[in-house]
Amino acid sequence: MEPLISIKDMHKIYNPGENEVRALDGVSLEIHEGEFVAIIGHSGSGKSTLMNMIGCLDTPTSGSYFLHGKDVSRMTDNELSDVRNQEIGFIFQGFNLIANLDAIGNVELPLIYRGIDRKTRRAAAKQALIKVGLEKRMTHKPSEMSGGQQQRVAVARAIAASPPVILADEPTGNLDSKSTKEIMQILEGLHKSGRTVIIITHDNEIAEQVKRVIYIRDGRIEQDYLNEEKQGE
Ligand SMILES: Nc1ncnc2c1ncn2[C@@H]1O[C@H](COP(=O)(O)OP(=O)(O)O)[C@@H](O)[C@H]1O
Ligand SMILES: [Mg+2]
Tell whether 29 is covered by a domain.
no
Closest by Cα among 36, 73, 41, 38 to 54: 73
Listed residue (232, 229, 181, 218) closest to 43, CA to CA? 218
Q: pTM (2 decimals)?
A: 0.94
What is the mean predicted confidence (pLDDT) over 127-132?
Answer: 96
Is the confidence at residue 158, as pLDDT, over 90?
yes
CATH number at residue 180: 3.40.50.300
Which structural domain range is residue 169 located in? 34-52+82-230
Q: What's the chain's Rg over C-alpha atoms?
A: 17
Number of H-type helices and E-type strands within the chain: 7, 10
Q: Please report whether residue 77 resides in a domain.
A: no
Q: How does pLDDT run across 71-111, given as a tens digit for each residue?
A: 998 899 999 999 999 999 999 999 999 999 999 999 999 89
Which residue's C-alpha comes closest to atom 1 of ligand 1?
14
Residues touching ligand 1 (Cβ under 6 Å) are 14-15, 21, 23, 41, 43-49
pLDDT of residue 1: 79
Find the mean pLDDT for residues 187-207.
94
* Ligand 1 atom closest to residue 43's alpha carbon, by position in its atom list: 23
Q: Is the CA virtual torsion 53, 56, 203, 174 positive or negative?
A: positive
Atom 27 of ligand 1, residue of closest alpha carbon:
44
Contact 27, 49 (CB under 8 A): no
Given this model, what pLDDT does residue 233 score?
A: 60
**Residue 25 in domain:** no
Q: At residue 215, what are phi and psi to the nearest 5 degrees?
A: -100, 120
In a domain, 27, yes or no: no
The amino acid at 191: H
Indicate the DSSP class of residue 157. Answer: H
- Cα of 21 vs centre of ligand 1, distance in Å, is 8
Does any domain span residue 60? no
What's CA 67's distance to the chain center, in Å? Answer: 14
The CA 63 to ligand 1 mean position distance, Å, reads 18
Number of domains in the chain: 1
Give the whole-angstrom CA distance, residue 101 versus residue 12: 36
